[in-house]
Amino acid sequence: MPERSSTPEASSGQNPILEVKDLTVAYGGVTAVAGVSFQVGPGELVGIIGPNGAGKSSTLLALAGAVRAKATTLTFDGTPLLGRKPEQIARSGFALVPEGHHIFGGLTVRDNLRLGEVARRGKQGLEATREWVLELFPILREFLGRQAGLLSGGQQQQLAIARALLSEPRLLVLDEPSLGLSPTAIDTVFDAITAVQRSGTAVLLVEQRAQQTVAAAARTHVLGEGRITMTLGPADATDAELLAKAYLGS
Amino acid sequence: MNFLQALIDATSAGAVYALAALGIGLVFGVLRLANFAYGEIITASAYTLVIVWPMNPVLAVLGAALVGVAVALAMNYAVFTWLRSQSSATLLIASFGLSILLQRIYEGVFGANVLSASVAGGLSTSIDLGAVRLNLLSVVTIVLAVLLLVGVQLFLTRTSIGLQVQAASADFRIARLLGVRSGLVIAVTFAISGFIAAAVAFVLTVQSGTVGPSFGVQPTLFGLIGAVIGGLRNLRGAVVGGFVVGVALSLLTSWLPPEINPFRTAFVYLLVIAVLVLRPNGLFSAGAGKVRT
């Protein structure tokens, strides 16, 4: 049970685009996620923070169909996600940028971006999306013909997000996009995430950078040992004591 | 001039094994399957050529290609689709079993003895160019291999599905998260490898004019060896490895003294051992790959 909830559970008056109730993920006998419930409304930015091993990545992989999971309810845009293949989920407008970039280093930046277009429902509006994505990450335009593996860590993260955006998702899910990046690169990534949310795309952001995430998100769930232990609102971003408690527990 | 002739013959032999390595390497890329049953796809196409050629050469070539693709797809859907989430070792053993099973089926259907027919007999002639005698089949083999290699390269780099095959080969899990349809990519890869197997069958059937139940075993073994020394995870490396094995076999056949010539394959295996001791992941290894899930 959440110890604190500064904001409503979901945006009022609209059906959630993502609804998660009692999500459980176990690897063999080890439970990684133990009954997590949350919602993401259309166009909302929702954060999940927590220490290493809290179950953040497992939660996202379960949503994306990459690991087996159980849940009372797990729907994206009203459609059940359980039992669907990762590629089916990706093609339904759900884009996951997994932890660690995972760009295709042997391919060019252009080809990586082309792969992002695989999950699109059609080519309508493709040129406009390409242009928007390259405006969001102008450095990629310069390096379109370059082998992606030669980009810096920050540039690779930008490429991973750009690739996901080219599928024109209704929900962009990011797993620790700031991991291992320089402060400047982190700012670039966070600016882009905010811009994506402002464009109307819902964002589910998993992060270790608590202050920045809590400030940007409509609400941020704190995950610890596979459970949501607390839910914070933007006003809590300046409460250092609360953020520390969120991570370290009482 | 003997040297030039030997070089052309060696290039031709290298081209055959480069093709076999390409067919094997493509499937390994997406499925992490070193498919020992690849030889039985070659054999199926070879039987088609030997049986149908005397009736209608065009139909024989088309049929061989069709049979190669069909057998490869049937293998995928009947066996490997069910084992996709298993380890590479499980897939390898399954392919061994499938190989033996198909050889016994061929034996039951076509008999244990070889079937013979003159397939594209015209290609067995030689052209005199000064002091050099060019075997027409060698030239056709080299041209065919180049066309197929370029074709596969264009497919992989210029088409959306080819790009998806490349992505799946690099990291299947991430490719699926991007919406790449795993079943389609694997099926397309098997189909292309089946088509390439038919090309290998054509060259070998023209060379030998015979086909038996274990016809495809040797080219598959050498293609696989070539792919391993080149680097199974690197398609270009696999092709170069296959080429090197073919060239080495051909040159050893030409140059080794008669008394030790029968042991030429042993020298090739020595080469393989030396390469794997020095470069365990192959000459052109691209590092550890990601397994499919």
Predicted local distance difference test score (pLDDT) of residue A4: 47
Residue A165 distance to chain B (closest CA, Å) = 11
Predicted local distance difference test score (pLDDT) of residue B1: 52
The model's pLDDT over B155-209, given as tens digits with 9 standing for 90+, comes to 999 999 999 999 999 999 999 999 999 999 999 999 999 999 999 999 999 999 9
Report the mean per-residue pLDDT for chain B: 91
The model's pLDDT over A193-231, given as tens digits with 9 standing for 90+, comes to 999 999 999 999 999 888 999 999 999 999 988 999 999
Residue B97 distance to chain A (closest CA, Å) = 30
ipTM above 0.85, yes or no: yes
**Does B176 contact A85 at a Cβ distance shorter than 8 Å?**
yes
Q: Is the pLDDT of residue B234 over 90?
A: no
A104, A120, A161: which to substitute to probe chain B, counting the most B Cβ within 10 Å?
Answer: A104
A249 band by pLDDT with thresholds 50, 70 and 90? low
Contact status of A110 with chain B (Cβ, < 8 Å) = no
Tell which residue, B186, B149, B195, has the closest CA to residue B164.
B186
Among chain B residues, CA nearest to A93: B179
Predicted local distance difference test score (pLDDT) of residue A13: 60
Q: Which of B23-32, B110-119, B250-259 has the lowest mean pLDDT?
A: B250-259
Q: Is the pLDDT of residue A8 over 50?
A: no
Residue A164 with chain B: CB contacts under 8 Å: 178
Predicted local distance difference test score (pLDDT) of residue B6: 81
The model's pLDDT over A131-154, given as tens digits with 9 standing for 90+, comes to 999 999 999 999 999 999 999 999
Q: Is the pLDDT of residue A246 over 80?
A: no
A78 band by pLDDT with thresholds 50, 70 and 90? very high
A29 band by pLDDT with thresholds 50, 70 and 90? confident
Predicted local distance difference test score (pLDDT) of residue A237: 87
Span A171-200, mean pLDDT? 91
Q: In whole angstroms, give the CA distance from residue B207 to residue B38.
A: 19
Residue A118 with chain B: CB contacts under 8 Å: 160, 164, 178-180
Predicted local distance difference test score (pLDDT) of residue A214: 93
Predicted local distance difference test score (pLDDT) of residue A2: 41
Among B157, B171, B178, the residue with its CB nearest the CB of A116 is: B178
| Higher-confidence position of B22 and A8 | B22
**C-alpha distance across the termini of chain A, in Å:** 14
A208 burial type by CB count under 10 A (0-12 exposed, 13-18 middle, 19+ buried): middle
Predicted local distance difference test score (pLDDT) of residue B145: 94
Three-state secondary structure readout of B103-116: HHHHHHHHCCCCEE
Q: Encoding tokens for residue A222?
A: 């704190």
Element (H, E) at A5: none
**Does A104 contact B170 at a Cβ distance shorter than 8 Å?**
yes
Among B160, B163, B176, the residue with its CB nearest the CB of A87 is: B176
Angle at A77 between CA A133 and CA A96, to 5 degrees: 40
Domain residue spans of chain B: 2-216
Interface of B with A in 159-188 (CB under 8 A): 160, 163-164, 166-167, 170-171, 173-182
Q: Is the pLDDT of residue B287 over 70?
A: no
Q: In whole angstroms, give the CA distance from residue B231 to residue B229.
A: 5
Domains along the sequence of chain A with CATH: 18-248 (3.40.50.300)
Residue A98 with chain B: CB contacts under 8 Å: 174, 177
Q: Is the pLDDT of residue A250 over 80?
A: no
**Does A96 contact B163 at a Cβ distance shorter than 8 Å?**
no
Count Cα neighbours of A233 within 13 Å in the Cβ-side half-sphere.
9
Span A148-170, mean pLDDT? 94
Predicted local distance difference test score (pLDDT) of residue A123: 84
